[in-house]
Structure 1
Amino acid sequence: MNNKVLIDGNNLTLEDFINVVRHNYTVELTNEAIKKVEKSRQIVEKFVEEEKIVYGITTGFGKFSDVNISKEETKILQRNLIMSHSCGVGNPLDEEIVRGIMLLRANALAKGYSGIRLSTLNTLIDMLNKGVHPVIPEKGSLGASGDLAPLSHMVLVMLGEGEAYYQGKRLKGIEAMKRAEIPTVELTSKEGLALINGTQVMTSIGALTLYDGINLSKTSDIIAALTVEALNGIIDAYNVKMYDVRKHTGQLNTSENLLKLLKNSSMITRQGELRVQDAYSLRCIPQIHGSSKDAIDYVKEKVNIEMNSATDNPLIFDETEEVISGGNFHGQPMALSFDFLGIALSELANVSERRLERLVNPALSGLPAFLSRKGGLNSGFMIVQYSAASLVSENKVLAHPASVDSIPSSANQEDHVSMGTIAARKAKSILENTRKVLAMELLAACQGIDLRGKKKLGKGTEIAYNIVRDKIPTIEEDRIMYEYINICEDMIKSNIILEDVEEKIGKLL
């Protein structure tokens, strides 16, 4: 098996990204990328030698763009840039996020529009491949001019400064580089700016959230289908003919998933058998889950573009020997996308909590109150719903868009910023909350099925139910509930339910 990903700045996929970040695939530049990097570097060196006035190469940065820098001072300029911009605060980002940052920055530089030396780029790739993960604080980025502060912490380690995790230990940057046998670098003209002027922090956080969100949206269909059975839901509402008159792809995909999952179930009903219509949280699953899937698909399209983009400033076009100063570092495309992603994921939690409420409420379910055979002596799932409601409420606060805010910086030279990294971090928090809410629904749905008097379940739901029951028994008397909730969350997070279901009944959409 070839556990390697070749990068050229143009063809990195979300699956490649996950393989490097989570499965430790190694990274290597293509021959074409090497040629592009070397050609753009030649242009930088030519302009430095000629002392041509070019932003970020022979000038200062931001408001200091009108200060000229001599060729003798270019190394000092680049080092000072990294030192002064290392202003991140807060907890360190997860190592998988840091690996994503390093991969995405390397891929952007591999496009050959940034003017970095090949040796410097290879240092970053060596760090990624050998597991030297810089300590990057989670807070401090405005999302324009890119993720300056957090990316500076990444580059500190390349210089032998800062801190890094290596083989499970938090070390001084120089010590981590020594142990990994990677020489540190001395940055020269344009290189510091090339390494920190970009959107890779927000994109790494967002891409991981996106990938997990795609799987969570499919798992939410499985969990919803279990609840449909626990409540003897009406399957007619999922007829794909509904799509013929309202052609939203996510709606169709969700309907097809539900029909596949519930096939041959003896616990679903038809229109008019028990009631004419279900409440919206059951009847409208295709419309609600489907809308989130459509939003997630939109975000995936934008992330795929961003992962293969040059996002620094200025950009070097070697064919015409042009250096163009612009704004590709601005995080607005990702800020709006990750705000949208957070909203889409929060809706999966919103409707999940409403289904959970129907399960525990005897006036709505026809099941014992709070899913307990001996209510009163036992509280059953009463506070499970409280906890879910708390998370859903928190998500509503987190779903407020970060992208509508802007605070001018750099003496008003940078007078509109994206807050895209905040948007990405919020989306990640929403994902984590949503996964917990769905775990609670999963636990409650299986309990409801048992209390209803379990009959034959659907082709897909039977698989999911058995996975849960293999670890968690029917709850006859009050138990320490968080332990069961955590088990269900681990099942969702590890994708064991999704993978097992898909292996036996086919891919979900």
Structure 2
Amino acid sequence: MVTLNGQTLTFSEVRRVLFDQERVSSSDESIRKVVASRKAVEKIVEEEKVVYGITTGFGKFSDVYIGKEDVEALQLNLIRSHACGMGEPFPEIVSRAMLLLRANALLKGFSGVRPVVIERLLDLVNAKIHPVIPQQGSLGASGDLAPLSHLALVLIGEGEVFYKGERTASIDALTKEGIFPITLTAKEGLALINGTQAMTAMGIVAYLEAEKLAYQSEMIAALTIEGLRGIIDAFDEDIHIARGYKEQIDVAKRMRELLVDSQLTTKQGEIRVQDAYSIRCIPQVHGATWQTLMYVKEKLEIEMNAATDNPLIFNDGEKVLSGGNFHGQPIAFAMDFLAIAIAELANISERRIERLVNPQLNDLPPFLSPQPGLQSGAMIMQYAAASLVSENKTLAHPASVDSIPSSANQEDHVSMGTIGSRHAYEIITNTRRVLSIEAICAMQAVEIRGREKMAQTTREFLQQGREFVPSITQDRVFSKDIQAMNDWLKKETFHFEKKQTRKIHS
């Protein structure tokens, strides 16, 4: 059981809730804060004070006073009118993450909601009822208004959900689980949608996949090095300590460990003096990606425990302040940076693919073909990788550099962070496919060199990989092989032996 308190949610706990379906509860202390905050809202309504979002309209309507007899209608109208999402829904796991993150933010006790609102969010997580949330429609400031409105619809028994593998009406799933819809009261609708949980949830899922992919890229690169009889000296510790980047030093160390007992690597001058950059500079390039991943992780860890709605209630209601914590700029930058960093893993991978298949760059059969000329072998796999890399370059354009004013210029600068998070995830998906192609080509190359000469770790990878993609003995529909390898990489965590089993996945 993961217990939320609004302060200490970790990546490890998020992973357990998302991937292991662990149940979630709230801490008693956090609920006490929620209750105190709620009393402040009720006092504001009762005393008919003018406070944004509680007794006023929203956005440009912030100067329109709303009487206490209309506060429930105000919140209901807010959710319905703001549910303007479009396009394909977020992956179900992202929807689950949104529920978790929104509950955690409300548990900080700054938002003025009743405990029942948080209870319902956790009920949905524990019952595995996940709102259908369209991906398009958020500007990433004033919060992820459109996506989170679709989440909030489910709490009032409207909208759609994913439930037991099907897309169905919310009320049907709630009824089957014995969960009762709620009526939103003062500030609760605003508190549910004024936040960055769509971009952050998408960012967390993207990060977790990117981290795993970064480790896998090293394993696959090691296989390529063996297939090309690469020079191991480039990974010598002294080179990388001389520059000083920890992540670069770590990548070089892992490459040495992966290839420690290989008979297919060479020394400088043995066959050639230097390898091409896509081989020789793996620690420098992959290490820079790891630097970015660490930056992204740090920002996501802050944001998953952040109060991001408006206004915020402090000192048991003595201080109610309007601000801009809903602005997604920190996550927008992080997502754009993530997109660029992972795109580079694909860029350098595609160059290694070219070195594996181009007969002018190696001594392997042209395009790794079993019958060069009669059979094309891996020729068009490199084309496909190049296409994906080019697509990544367009997706990597920073979303955060754009802003379009909204709400009659009241909200005149926005982050576009949700677009950035979606693009980062698309790039991760494309990069996994590029690495799948490199893996297929590298496996073919090392088999030509001789399995018995491989390092123990890479040989284990080859043995496992051959369960999904057989050797190329004749041309076939390679699209199926690429998909099979991609599916394996998406779900698999690799292990290798170095005194003890170490998991290539944090």
TM-score computed with the length of structure 1 as normaliser: 0.97
> Match of 1:506?
502
Counterpart CA distance in 2 for 1:52 and 1:461 is: 68
Asked if 1:400 corresponds to 2:409, the answer is no
Q: Deviations over 1:396-435 (max 9, x none)?
A: 0000000000000000000000000000000000000000
Q: 1:184 aligns with which of 181, 188, 193?
A: 181
1:148 aligns with 2:140: no
- 2:429 aligned partner, one-letter code: E
Q: Which whole-Å CA distance do the structure 2 matches of 1:473 and 1:492 have between them?
A: 16
2:246 to 220, 244, 249: 249
C-alpha distance in 1 between matches for 2:26 and 2:12:
18
Q: What CA deviation, in whole Å up to 9, does each residue of 1:122-172 have, x standing for no partner?
A: 111111111221111111000011100010011111111111222223222
**Aligned equivalent of 2:199:** 202
* Equivalent position amino acid for 1:248 in 2: Y
Are 1:120 and 2:117 an aligned pair?
A: yes
- SS of match in other structure, 2:88: strand
C-alpha deviation, 1:485, in angstroms: 1.4
Query: Are 2:418 and 1:421 equivalent residues in the alignment?
Result: yes
The answer on 1:271 being equivalent to 2:293 is: no
- Structure 2 distance, partners of 1:129, 1:96, is 13
> Out of 292, 296, 300, which is 2:297 matched to?
300
Q: Is 2:422 aligned against 1:435?
A: no
Q: How does 1:438-449 map to 2 (within 5 A)?
A: 438-449=435-446
Deviation at 1:178, TM superposition (A): 1.2
The secondary structure found in structure 2 opposite 1:362 is coil
Cα distance in structure 2, aligned partners of 1:113 and 1:375: 68
Amino acid at match of 1:10: Q
User: Which SS does the other structure have where 1:410 is aligned?
Assistant: coil
- Conservation of the 8 A alpha-carbon contact between 1:260 and 1:505: no
Change (3 A) 1:503 1:393: farther
Aligned-partner Cα distance in 2 for 1:469–1:119? 52
Change in 2 beyond 3 A, CA 1:324/1:344: same
- What corresponds to 1:456 in structure 2? 453
Contact 1:353 1:437 survives alignment (8 Å): yes
Q: Does 1:488 align with 2:485?
A: yes
Determine the C-alpha separation between the residues in 2 that align with 1:418 and 1:499: 39
CA distance in structure 2 between the partners assigned to 1:333 and 1:49 by the alignment: 37
RMSD: 1.4
Q: Is the 8 A contact 1:135 1:163 kept in 2?
A: yes
How many Å apart are 1:507 and its aligned residue? 4.3
Q: Is the 8 A contact 1:97 1:204 kept in 2?
A: yes
Instruction: Determine the C-alpha separation between the residues in 1 that align with 2:178 and 2:126.
Output: 12
- Give 1:372 shift: 1.2
User: Where does residue 106 of structure 2 map in the other structure?
Assistant: 109
Segment drifting more, 458-467 vs 182-191: 458-467
Q: Is the 8 A contact 1:43 1:318 kept in 2?
A: no
Q: Determine the C-alpha separation between the residues in 2 that align with 1:378 and 1:101.
A: 49
Distance in 2 (CA, whole Å) between partners of 1:220 and 1:391 is: 16
3-state DSSP of counterpart to 2:373: coil
Matched ranges for 1:300-339 at <5 A: 300-319=297-316, 321-339=318-336
SS of 1:164's equivalent in the other structure is: strand
SS in 1 for 2:77: helix
User: Secondary structure of 1:260's partner?
Assistant: helix
Counterpart of 2:37 in structure 1 is: 40
Q: Is 2:374 aligned against 1:377?
A: yes
Question: Could you say what secondary structure the match of 1:403 adopts?
Answer: helix
1:501/1:193 Cα in 2 relative to 1: closer, same or farther (>3 Å)?
farther
Task: Specify the alignment match of 2:229 in structure 1.
Answer: 232
Query: Does residue 1:64 correspond to 2:61, yes or no?
Result: yes
Give the direction of change, closer, same or farther, for the CA distance of 1:316–1:501 in structure 2 (3 Å limit). Answer: farther
Shift of 1:505: 4.7
Would the aligned equivalents of 1:222 and 1:461 in 2 still touch at CA under 8 Å?
yes
1:138 aligned counterpart, secondary structure: strand
1:349 aligns with 2:346: yes
- Rounded to whole Å, the distance in 2 between the matches of 1:301 and 1:170 is 34
Which whole-Å CA distance do the structure 2 matches of 1:120 and 1:41 have between them? 11
Aligned length: 505
Matched AA of 2:285: I
Displacement after TM superposition at 1:320 (Å)? 6.3
Aligned CA distance change for structure 1 residues 503 and 190 (closer, same or farther; 3 Å): farther
Does the 8 Å CA contact 1:51/1:71 hold for their aligned counterparts?
A: yes
TM-score by length of structure 2 reads: 0.97
- Displacement, 1:494? 1.0
Most deviating of 344-353 and 156-165: 156-165
8 A contact 1:132–1:180 mirrored in 2: no
Q: Which runs of 5+ in 1 are unaligned?
A: none
Range with bigger deviation, 15-24 or 151-160: 15-24
C-alpha contact (below 8 Å) 1:229/1:457 kept by paired residues: yes
Q: Could you tell me how far 1:501 is from its partner in structure 2?
A: 6.4
Give the whole-Å Cα distance in 2 for the aligned partners of 1:328 and 1:405.
Answer: 19
1:85-117, Cα deviation, whole Å (9 max, x unpaired): 010011121111100000000000011110000
1:470 deviates by 3.5
SS in 2 for 1:6: strand
- Partner Cα separation in structure 1 for residue 497 and residue 178 of structure 2: 45
For the pair 1:49 / 2:46, whether they are aligned, the reply is yes
Partners of 2:451 and 2:459 within 8 A in 1: no
Deviations 1:467-505 (A, max 9, x none): 112343321221221222122112211124x24668965
Report the residue type matching 2:78 in the other structure.
L
2:470 equivalent to 1:473: yes
Q: Which residue in the other structure is 2:129 paired with?
A: 132
Separation in 2, partners of 1:170, 1:211: 25
Does the aligned pair in 1 maintain the 2:496–2:503 contact within 8 Å? no
Percent sequence identity over aligned pairs: 53
Deviation at 1:453, TM superposition (A): 3.4
Deviations 1:3-61 (A, max 9, x none): x1100011111121121122211110001111111111011111111111111111111
Moved more, 10-19 or 394-403: 10-19
Aligned position for 2:362: 365
